[in-house]
């Protein structure tokens, strides 16, 4: 019944979504990552599919099943996510980059497990290099017909940081939320986001289930695309 009631307003559109964290190896048993659960990105992929879209979901490691009808491509590192996003970019009408990409990766991941005894009881230092900014690369390549959405989890200065990211990454929209509270952000089933647009306008989504946030976010994308 739900499938019948849902409007198919994304019919004929291709949506490319990224979700979850990336993990960057330190050695074969350890990695650098973050608290992303993938719930928000998966909710968006599911909502877009229900509304008739053809959805490709590039996903870091998460504990979630692939939404029915969605093509999921599993990745681990930022480099892998970048290559999958860029090779699927040309066909996409809407790109929604929800993934929490690790900003830095260990420069020299070891091929064998790091042993304490090899470190002579000293503090361990891991040199890290900045990862490529996938969304910025997408923003540079995007055509005028493509609509690009970023996400930003901030602890401070939400509006200022969101607007800077729209500019820096050439985005059409950014969905920003404050992290640090238990009812929104990484692990929660609910979220409270503000949508900022390239033209300076703002749309507030109050605290609600991530599934509902996903539908409202898609409403706003469709409205702005015209």
Q: Which does 218 bind (CB under 5 to 8 A by kind): ligand CTP, Ca ion, none?
A: none
Give the residue, chosen from 103, 133, 211, 219, that forms a contact with Ca ion under the rule CB under 5 A.
Answer: 103
CB of 63 to ligand CTP, least distance (A): 19
Q: Quick one: 52 or 61, whose CB is closer to ligand CTP?
A: 61
Q: How far, in Å, CA of 109 to CA of 102, rounded?
A: 15
Q: Which one from 34, 88, 161, 170 is the annotated catalytic residue?
A: 34
> Has 34 been annotated as catalytic?
yes
Q: Which of 47, 22, 46 is nearest to 134 (CA)?
A: 22
Strand positions, DSSP E, 33-146: 54-59, 71-74, 94-97, 104-106, 128-130
CB of 165 to ligand CTP, least distance (A): 6
Q: Are strands 54-59 and 71-74 parallel, antiparallel or unpaired?
A: parallel
Q: Quick one: 51 or 169, whose CB is closer to Ca ion?
A: 169
Q: Are strands 94-97 and 104-106 parallel, antiparallel or unpaired?
A: unpaired
Q: How far, in Å, CA of 91 to CA of 150, rounded?
A: 18
Q: Any idea which residues carry the catalytic annotation? A: 34
| Residue ranges of the binding site for CTP | 103, 113, 132-135, 151, 165, 169
Residues that bind Ca ion (CB under 5 A): 103
């Amino acid at each position: 019944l739900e499938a019948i009631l849902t409007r198919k307003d994304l019919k004929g559109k291709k949506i490319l979504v990224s979700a979850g964290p990336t993990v960057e190896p330190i050695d074969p048993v350890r990695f650098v990552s973050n608290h992303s659960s993938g719930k928000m990105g998966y909710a968006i992929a599911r909502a877009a599919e229900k509304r008739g879209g053809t959805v490709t979901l590039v996903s870091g490691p998460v504990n979630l099943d692939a939404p029915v009808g969605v093509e999921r491509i599993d990745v681990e590192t930022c480099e892998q996510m970048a290559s999958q996003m860029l090779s699927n970019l040309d066909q996409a009408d809407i790109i929604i980059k929800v993934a929490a990409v690790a900003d830095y990766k260990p420069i020299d991941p070891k091929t064998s497990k790091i042993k304490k005894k090899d470190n002579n009881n000293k503090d361990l230092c891991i040199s890290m290099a900045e990862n490529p900014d996938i969304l910025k690369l997408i923003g540079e390549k995007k055509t005028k017909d493509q609509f690009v959405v970023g996400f930003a989890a901030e602890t401070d200065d939400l509006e200022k940081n969101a607007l800077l990211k729209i500019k820096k990454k050439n985005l059409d929209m950014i969905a920003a939320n404050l992290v640090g509270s238990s009812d929104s952000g990484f692990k929660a089933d609910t979220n409270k986001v503000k949508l900022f647009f390239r033209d300076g306008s703002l749309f507030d989504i109050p605290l609600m289930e991530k599934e509902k946030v996903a539908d409202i976010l898609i409403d706003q994308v469709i409205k702005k695309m015209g």
